[in-house]
Amino acid sequence: MTEPNFNNIAELKVYLKALEARLKELEEKPGNDLPKTNLLSKSLVTRAFAVYGHTILATMIIGTISAVIFGCCYLILFSTIFGTLISQLIQINPPK
């Protein structure tokens, strides 16, 4: 695509109007591949809440995965510590 050369402001305005018309035509064209989501809404508030909702969901997913991983690590660590502690206590005070 070649860069257009403009001799004056009027030519630039005509070119921009033509680009805006093409863009509007492409946005309204049926079969548009853009998903129907609030992230693409024209309203700032709707977009903001959509982003906020996605952030909360991502945080919940990451937090759940992290909790499971840390829980398994703590379970392994404490079961090893308490297992050796209990075995030492049994050796010191054997059951009668």
The per-residue pLDDT for 35 is 78
Residues 6+ apart with CB under 8 A from 37: 50
Report the number of distinct structural domains present in the chain: 1
Identify which of 34, 4, 1 has the alpha carbon closest to the alpha carbon of residue 18. Answer: 4
Classify residue 71: in a domain, yes or no: yes
The per-residue pLDDT for 95 is 67
Classify residue 2: in a domain, yes or no: no
What's the pTM value of the predicted model, to 2 decimals?
Answer: 0.51
The per-residue pLDDT for 32 is 64
Classify residue 4: in a domain, yes or no: no
| Cα 28-32-35 angle, rounded to 5 deg | 115
Q: Show the domain range for 37.
A: 9-92
Classify residue 61: in a domain, yes or no: yes
In angstroms, the CA 19 to CA 11 distance is 12
82: confidence class by pLDDT, cuts 50, 70, 90: confident
* Residue 51: both structure tokens together: 């982003």
Classify residue 3: in a domain, yes or no: no
